[in-house]
Structure 1
């Protein structure tokens, strides 16, 4: 219960750290986007304020150029035409710019380009505009009168009126310019403060993310180190693989089992350690020895890193035991030949192969002649030894692909795949000769013979039972034919 609680607590802690990291990263992205947005907004605002400051300063200059143009015309009559043109350009520009500051619209910048301009709604700015408009109501009629009817009287009247209100107009334009500059500084200062605050928060958030990642890294390294220490001290062979299935640790039991050093283990692949032999999986040791093993695989997730543990169990002793049992179940303990049960299975397999490849299959049923007197007179021990010698002689006649089986007592069955009738007759002749040679056991000479019945697939039958019955029947027929001879 304590282990489960600790595991749940660790999982909950990892979940909280993940959530905190996610929130911190999202907050950092939001603050970063906010800073970028503020930079863009401040840039646009600075451009707008720069234009406002530029045109307000220009208004001050235009107010003075109107007076200078009129005075220049009065002093130098040759300048009247050029001065009138200048006044005709300056005066409308002054009026249009004044209207744009108050109502918004388009203004001409210093390069003569039309720019969109937003109205300035500051109370002081609007007050200065109203006062300027009041002055221009007094000045505009005389200027327009001169522009429409240029003569000495209209010129004198315009000069007098401008001189009368010039200082007031200049003062208002100075106040307007100063106020617009002041507004720009206030707005920029506020936005810069917000920008600095956002940057500071983003920096703190970034430091928090770095700290969380650092803590997580330390915790992960600690967990992995403990995990690997537990694996290394295990009492069974364990190998740890990373997410790419590369070996990162083989514990002491594995190093002893395979014969590799820890350093060497890290440089070899998983495929070099194991080999498939039929249905069995074998471990390949440093010396090249193949050992039957059972490998169990299990994955572990440590702080979002997946590790695979291979548990290796040596089952070679089980495999050997199974092999011995299988051999005992299918072989005669006295002669070492295939037994009656196994020969039936092999006969079925050989029949399937013969049918598939359209070949013939020979079946011989052999019974020893004069064997019973050997048992009766010399004893079963001598009889058993003679049976073993008979088995060896029969195996010495056949091919490696043939099967010699002890069917029971002094009876043998031989399977001859892929053979014809003449070749089978030759094998029978050789077997009779081999069995008929004298046996010398314990100082006694023993002479035997044998009766052999033959059956050939597909001529004499197309299944195991019929072939055995035919060969058995022919063996007894041959044995009966020898009676009295």
Structure 2
């Protein structure tokens, strides 16, 4: 005996089937978007964190480079050589240190590791912010003493130079330690984000 299908029932069944397919597709896309969007955002942040880590490491080097430049100015002064070369080295190192420290504090464009401009984000954690505050307490008077040497040119007085060197000897290692702490903290921030990204990717793979 031939079976007759109610056209209305068949139409409703077809609509229900397509509705289920569309709903499944929508849920799949929503899930994928929920994984891909955080993935993209965290990956972008990790690129910025790499810049922060690199420049925090450079701050350590610059803190030592400034001390070396001060001593080079002293040697040049003692042997009565031209001071300009050593003063320019001191100027270059101190300006770069100052710009980068401001970048960590406020966020700004600074010369990157290859001297090309990069945007340095302000530090995020309370610990990093505290490190910047302590570093600035040392840096502000240090910067003033360095500028006095640079602006003096060949008329630099020995007392001004000795004052700056004495300050550097007292605070150089403190500044270096703070920049070490900053590098470590920025690395920890990046590691935490990388762990979060790995977790999201694991959940994404498990949900497929």
1:410-449 equivalence runs, <5 A? none
Deviation at 1:83?
1.4
1:77-476 equivalence runs, <5 A? 77=79, 78=81, 80-149=83-152, 150-201=156-207, 203=208
Deviation at 1:6?
9.3
Greater fraction helix: 2
The equivalent of 2:24 in structure 1 is 24
| TM-score where L is the length of structure 1 | 0.38
Deviation at 1:8?
7.8
The equivalent of 1:362 in structure 2 is none
Q: Highest CA radius of gyration, 1 or 2?
A: 1
The equivalent of 2:54 in structure 1 is 54
Pairwise CA RMSD: 2.6
Q: For residues 56 and 193 of structure 1, do their structure 2 counterparts lie closer, same or farther at Cα, with a shift above 3 Å needed?
A: same
Q: Deviations over 1:189-229 (max 9, x none)?
A: 2133223323432x2xxxxxxxxxxxxxxxxxxxxxxxxxx
Deviation at 1:10?
7.3
Query: What is the CA–CA distance in structure 2 between the aligned matches of 1:185 and 1:52, rounded to whole Å?
Result: 13
Unaligned runs of 5+ in 2: none
**What SS class does the counterpart of residue 111 from structure 1 fall into?**
coil
User: How many pairs does the alignment contain?
Assistant: 200
| TM-score where L is the length of structure 2 | 0.83
Q: Is the 8 A contact 1:42 1:191 kept in 2?
A: yes
Deviation at 1:167?
1.1
**What SS class does the counterpart of residue 119 from structure 1 fall into?**
coil
Unaligned runs of 5+ in 1: 204-485
Query: What is the CA–CA distance in structure 2 between the aligned matches of 1:192 and 1:104, rounded to whole Å?
Result: 27
The equivalent of 1:213 in structure 2 is none
Q: Is the 8 A contact 2:52 2:121 kept in 1?
A: no
Q: Is the 8 A contact 2:108 2:120 kept in 1?
A: yes
Q: Is the 8 A contact 1:72 1:79 kept in 2?
A: no
Higher relative contact order (CA 8 A, sep 6+): 2
